[in-house]
Amino acid sequence: MPYWEPILDIVANVKSSKTSALELVQKALSNIEKYKEYNSVITTLESSALGRAEQIDKDIEEHKDPGLLAGVPFLAKDNFLVLGAETTAGSNMLRGFIPPYQATAINKLEAAGAICVGKTNLDAFAHGGSTENSDFGVTLNPIDKTRVSGGSSGGSAAAVALGIVPFALGTDTGGSIRQPSAFCGVVGYKPTYGLVSRSGVVAMGSSLDSIGPIGTRSDDLALVLDVISGRDELDATTIEKNPLGYLGLNSVIKGQRIGVVKEFLGNGVAPDIRKAVDSVLDLLKDKGAQIDEVSLPSTSLALVCYYIICPAEVSSNLSRYDGQRYGYSSNADDLEHSYLNSRAGGFGKEAKRRIMIGNFVLSSGYYDAYYKKAQTVRTKIINEFNQAFMNFDFLVGPVTPITAFKIGSKIDDPVSMYLADEMTVSANLVGIPSVSVPIGVDTDKLPIGFQIMAPQNKDRELLGMVKAMQEEIDVS
Ligand code: GLN
């Protein structure tokens, strides 16, 4: 599974006509075909991608600026609206839906010369951690086909790990970029909340949803973030990007103050993961980082807090799928039955579960006991992180308590599936950037991810740290 060259080199070769955008797109398309059995890509955009590649090659011939990402093929999770392409969010509810507009992130990538070659598999509406909730079949883990690739951006992570494309876009509401990246051995980046526009991305939990890239190198992710980040008038929660951009900072490990989150290293963590994390901490220490343990007691409540707030927001966001305006529609004698039948037939089990939980925690009589309390806990968690960041540049720990699990082993036990999100949901509740970096494998040769979190808007510093780690220490 050879990875692509660094994106900066790919672009330099396209610009100097050493290689053509057309060749790159053809390579990505043939990779999609070659790795079909993994089911990481559910829609291929062959004709539009080839057309765009020809246009970019023509622009170069005519000495027009082809953009920062000229000719770079990429995949987008199938919850990004892409013009002319079916956008299903992995659910039967949206099968056949062709969006009338395009996600801001895709617009920005296209304006920079990148080329979307297809859409990747995901848990329906991004609910899940294994892609087993997808109505398009499960994505197989690139290292062991009997295991899941993680989720919900499992298709994007697997595609990058298989070397289909140099990068893919994912979404992360409670870990969906980082967890599959950990399971597949690639780097997954969840930016600060609001740094990348959510416009044109199928909403899951609007106060938690982040959009970010999955790739293999820090610089590649930084370059993509440079392109997709920043204020967008179509998403009022967006923020300005760092005027210095995200590329090029090479932090030195020496002198960094790193806090190891005590609650992330409890008994539930697999021994191989614990060992890998400990050995990376030793390496960081050897390079001069200052490593200390830090306790964030409220993080032990993060998972329950997330599984109240997230379904509450899900239940609201999914109310638009009523069978009338778009998506799956079931015939009925009256409007009420059309609503009922469309929602009963279009949504899968997990979406229905979250709608039920969401409506329950928001209903009068239970609102104070669940939703309001969860928001109070969320504030407590935010305060604890802010406090910790007064003493530390980064907070670290594992991404997941376990490595990629067997297909089918958790799908009938939603609570055990939810437990795999224990260490990722805090970053979403707090709105901070967080990354998963591969740091080795367990005894079954399954990849292990290391999580690094930084304060809000320290995305440049976080990517610089990943770069330093990838350069200074052998994390493979
Ligand atoms: N696994 C988590 C969930 O099911 C996270 C999902 C996500 O980040 N989209 O909610």
Asked whether residue 236 is assigned to any structural domain, the reply reads no
Residues 362 and 398 in one domain: no
Please tell me the distance from the alpha carbon of residue 58 to that of residue 281, in angstroms, as a whole number.
49
Q: Ligand 1 pocket: which of 122, 176, 418 to mutate (most atoms <8 Å of CB)?
A: 176
Residues 36 and 86 in one domain: yes
Residues 452 and 390 in one domain: yes
Residues 313 and 376 in one domain: no
pLDDT at 475: 67
CA distances from 327 to 171, 322, 349 (A): 21, 8, 17
CA dihedral 418, 133, 194, 439 (to 10 degrees): 60
Phi, psi angles (nearest 5°) of residue 453: -115, 145
Helix (H) or strand (E) holding 111: helix 104-111
Structure tokens at 420: 């795999």
Q: Is the distance from the beta carbon of residue 399 to the nearest atom of ligand 1 less than 6 Å?
A: no
Asked whether residue 61 is assigned to any structural domain, the reply reads yes
Centre of ligand 1 to C-alpha 219, Å, is 26
CA distances from 113 to 53, 71, 106 (A): 9, 6, 11
Residue-number span of the structural domain to which 314 is assigned:
305-366
| Torsion sign over Cα 140, 143, 146, 150 | negative
pLDDT at 170: 98
Asked whether residue 252 is assigned to any structural domain, the reply reads no
Residues 17 and 153 in one domain: yes
Closest CA to 284 of 259, 319, 247: 259
Closest CA to 455 of 221, 227, 191, 222: 191
Closest CA to 258 of 63, 26, 452: 452
Residues 343 and 417 in one domain: no
Asked whether residue 388 is assigned to any structural domain, the reply reads yes
Residues 81 and 194 in one domain: yes
Residues 153 and 170 in one domain: yes
Residues 339 and 416 in one domain: no
Asked whether residue 233 is assigned to any structural domain, the reply reads no
* Count of domains forming the chain: 3
Q: Is the distance from the beta carbon of residue 128 to the nearest atom of ligand 1 less than 6 Å?
A: yes
Q: Which of 366, 383, 405 is the last residue of a domain?
A: 366
Asked whether residue 251 is assigned to any structural domain, the reply reads no
Q: Ligand 1 pocket: which of 133, 310, 428 to mutate (most atoms <8 Å of CB)?
A: 310
Q: Is the distance from the beta carbon of residue 174 to the nearest atom of ligand 1 less than 6 Å?
A: yes
The residue from 152, 156, 197, 229 that is catalytic is 152
Asked whether residue 392 is assigned to any structural domain, the reply reads yes
Q: Which of 190, 211, 228 is the last residue of a domain?
A: 228
Phi, psi angles (nearest 5°) of residue 76: -120, 140
Residues 203 and 117 in one domain: yes
The residue from 176, 199, 229, 298 that is catalytic is 176
Asked whether residue 248 is assigned to any structural domain, the reply reads no
Q: Is the distance from the beta carbon of residue 176 to the nearest atom of ligand 1 less than 6 Å?
A: yes
Which of ligand 1's atoms lies nearest the C-alpha of 153?
9
pLDDT at 476: 60
The answer to whether 416 is a known catalytic residue is: no
Residues 408 and 291 in one domain: yes
Q: Which of 176, 209, 228 is the last residue of a domain?
A: 228
The CATH number given to whatever domain includes residue 224 is 3.90.1300.10
Q: What is the pLDDT along the chain (476 residues), one digit of tens a residue?
A: 689 999 999 999 999 999 999 999 999 999 999 999 999 999 999 999 999 999 999 999 999 999 999 999 999 999 999 999 999 999 999 999 999 999 999 999 999 999 999 999 999 999 999 999 999 999 999 999 999 999 999 999 999 999 999 999 999 999 999 999 999 999 999 999 999 999 999 999 999 999 999 999 999 999 999 999 999 999 999 999 999 999 988 778 999 999 999 999 988 999 999 999 999 999 999 999 999 999 999 999 999 999 999 999 999 999 999 999 888 999 899 999 999 999 999 999 999 999 999 999 999 999 999 999 999 999 999 999 999 999 999 999 999 999 999 999 999 999 989 999 999 999 999 999 999 999 999 999 999 999 999 999 999 999 999 999 998 877 66
Centre of ligand 1 to C-alpha 309, Å, is 12
Which residues, including other chains, have CB under 8 Å from residue 43's CB and lie 6 or more apart?
78, 85, 86, 88, 118, 119
Residues 334 and 461 in one domain: no
